[in-house]
């Protein structure tokens, strides 16, 4: 039934970074699955594998934070993952805006319920979801990691700012910076990279409606979820569109 009602979501709530811009409105977009794809947001910096690109990434994330209201520390993680995928899966054409759309839905970029991100990319308080014990509206998944990641030896729980199941993290987790440390799903750099690899799996091209929707629906098999991600990704693209 057509109601003519436009719902508005807000991004950037409970911002962890002091000095972030005010939240921007996100119109709730309801495209049909596989019928449209959000426009790519302004590109992250050029990846320079043989030299440090941290300064460029930090400056870029501050500029984008000013126009989107997304914490700069989270943007640096999403941008870094886009940079990785240009070399690792160039045919995927992943935009950081899609990762930010997921991060917004999953944890408000690590800031949900007054949380926030430290300079090293980890939240002030670990982000751990509800037990997946088969309660109404919840999947039933018995423990797969001995409680190592989620602290629960009976049931699995989604962990980190991008909300990975321990079993999924076991396959896709990786370290986003080459410091020799173990990949950590609570670290937004590592989580964003794992999400990017997961979305780009199986030769998907996220410039196409089929590729984009298949990727996001694989991340969470819910059309409403994918539409929420679409709304955020589209709003970030609009907010970073060059002004004439």
| CA separation for the pair 140, 68 (Å, rounded) | 36
| 117 phi and psi angles, rounded to 5 deg | -100, 135
| CA separation for the pair 208, 169 (Å, rounded) | 26
Check residue 244 and give its pLDDT: 59
User: How many percent of the chain have pLDDT more than 90?
Assistant: 82
Cβ-count burial 8-45 (b if 16+ within 10 Å, e if not): ebebbebbbbeebbebbebeebebebeeebbebbbebb
Check residue 22 and give its pLDDT: 61
Check residue 23 and give its pLDDT: 61
Check residue 151 and give its pLDDT: 97
What tens digit of pLDDT does each residue of 11-25 get? Answer: 333 334 444 566 677
Name the pLDDT band for 53 (thresholds 50, 70, 90): confident
- 2-9, long-range: CB within 8 Å, 24+ apart, which pairs? 9/228, 9/231, 9/232
Check residue 11 and give its pLDDT: 31
What tens digit of pLDDT does each residue of 65-102 get? Answer: 999 999 999 999 999 999 999 999 999 999 999 999 99
Phi-psi region of 22 (alpha: psi -120 to 50; beta: other; left: phi over 0): beta
Is the confidence at residue 127, as pLDDT, over 50?
yes
Query: In Å, what is the CA distance from 19 to each residue of 12, 16, 66, 116, 185?
Result: 12, 9, 9, 13, 26
Return the structure tokens found at 64: 């984008």
| 42 phi and psi angles, rounded to 5 deg | -55, 135
**Cβ–Cβ under 8 Å, residues 11 and 209:** no
Judged by average pLDDT, the poorest of 48-52, 123-127, 153-157 is 48-52
Name the pLDDT band for 5 (thresholds 50, 70, 90): very low
Name the pLDDT band for 179 (thresholds 50, 70, 90): confident
Residue 73's nearest CA partner among 61, 63, 81 is: 61
| CA separation for the pair 41, 90 (Å, rounded) | 16
Per-residue pLDDT, averaged over 209-220, amounts to: 97
């Amino acid at each position: 039934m057509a109601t003519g009602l436009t719902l508005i979501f807000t991004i950037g709530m409970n911002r962890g970074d002091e000095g972030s811009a005010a939240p921007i409105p996100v119109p709730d977009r309801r495209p049909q699955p596989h019928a449209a794809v959000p426009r790519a947001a302004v590109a992250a910096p050029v990846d320079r594998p043989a030299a440090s690109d941290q300064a460029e990434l930090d400056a870029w994330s501050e500029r984008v934070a000013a126009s989107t209201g997304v914490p700069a520390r989270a943007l640096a993680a999403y941008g870094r993952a886009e940079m990785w995928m240009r070399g690792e899966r160039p045919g995927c054409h992943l935009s950081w805006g899609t990762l930010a759309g997921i991060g917004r839905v999953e944890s408000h970029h690590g800031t949900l319920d007054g949380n926030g991100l430290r300079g090293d990319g980890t939240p002030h308080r670990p982000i751990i979801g509800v037990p997946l014990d088969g309660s109404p509206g919840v999947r039933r998944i018995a423990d797969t990691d001995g409680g190592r990641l989620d602290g629960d030896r009976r049931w699995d729980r989604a962990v980190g700012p991008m909300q990975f199941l321990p079993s999924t993290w076991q396959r896709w987790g990786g370290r986003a910076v080459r410091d020799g440390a173990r990949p950590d799903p609570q670290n937004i750099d590592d989580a964003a990279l794992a999400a990017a690899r997961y979305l780009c799996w199986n030769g998907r091209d996220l410039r196409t409606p089929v590729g984009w929707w298949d990727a996001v629906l694989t991340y969470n098999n819910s059309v409403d979820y994918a539409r929420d991600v679409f709304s955020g990704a589209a709003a970030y693209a609009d907010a970073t569109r060059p002004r004439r």
